[in-house]
Amino acid sequence: MEKNKDKIEEDIKETNESEIIDDINIDNTDAINPDNNDTNEEPAEEETQETEEDILKEEIKTLKEEKIRVLAEMENLRKRFDREKIDSIKYGSVNFARDILSPGDNLERALSAINQEEEHPQSIKNLIEGLLMVKKELSTALEKNGITKIESLDKKFDPNLHQAMMEIENNDLEEGIVVQEIQTGYMMHDRLLRPAMVGVSKKPQKPTEVESDKEVKSESEDSEKDPKN
């Protein structure tokens, strides 16, 4: 009995010693590698942090670009507003200016119809002087508002400034020269207010050209008379 008792005690002692040894081994392993779990977790956390930083940087870049674009649009709007403001000041009275040109044309026609060589009574002379004064004041008012006449006579025909109403044969001038001004044209600052109506020179037709024109005209008349054609 005593032997069995001693044996049991030895077995228990060995079991306890083995368990203690295992615990010591585990503790030693943890002591040797205390950061194994942390080492595995840190890369994941670093990757997450880097991803968030990239997202934030991209958002900051996008916001900067949007800010620059908005500032550029605001600058363009400001410039356009300033330009429209200047244009409204310069050209705001364009319709009124066109309307006021017609009385000026009638005044010019009235003065040009007066025979300067004819002897007139004093009352007519006073009337002419009054009309001349009105004409001068009207021209001054137009110029003050940036409205100026287009000098057309003896100038090269310009489709941007002139409207050709007729062609006048003139052998002394080259073709396309303004030789007659039917209605005066006007500019308002740097814009065309009204084109000048003019007559433009052209070279006289040569006899051969006149004859050929007559032949073409006669042939066309004959073809109209011929019912077969």
Report the alpha-carbon distance of residue 149 to residue 187 in Å, rounded: 6
What is the reported pLDDT for 78? 92
Provide mean pLDDT across the span 129-135. Answer: 91
Q: Residue 57: inside a domain, yes or no?
A: no
3-state secondary structure of 226: coil
- Please say if the pLDDT value at position 3 is more than 50: no
- Please say if the pLDDT value at position 32 is more than 50: no
CB 187 within 8 A of CB 193: yes
Q: Residue 3: inside a domain, yes or no?
A: no
Provide mean pLDDT across the span 130-149. Answer: 91
pLDDT, one tens digit per residue, over 147-191 is: 999 999 989 999 999 999 999 988 888 888 999 999 999 999 889
* pLDDT top residue among 16 and 141: 141
Q: Residue 121: inside a domain, yes or no?
A: no
Q: Which domain holds residue 195?
A: 147-204
Q: Residue 193: inside a domain, yes or no?
A: yes
Q: What is the domain count for the chain?
A: 1
Query: Considering only 77-86, 112-121, 133-142, 174-183, which range has the smallest mean pLDDT?
Result: 112-121
Q: How many CA atoms lie within 13 A of 227 on its CB side?
A: 0
- CATH number for the domain that contains residue 194: 2.30.22.10
What is the reported pLDDT for 181? 92
3-state secondary structure of 227: coil
Report the alpha-carbon distance of residue 46 to residue 29 in Å, rounded: 26
Q: Residue 198: inside a domain, yes or no?
A: yes
Q: Residue 151: inside a domain, yes or no?
A: yes
* pLDDT top residue among 14 and 148: 148
Tell me which amino acid residue 169 is. E
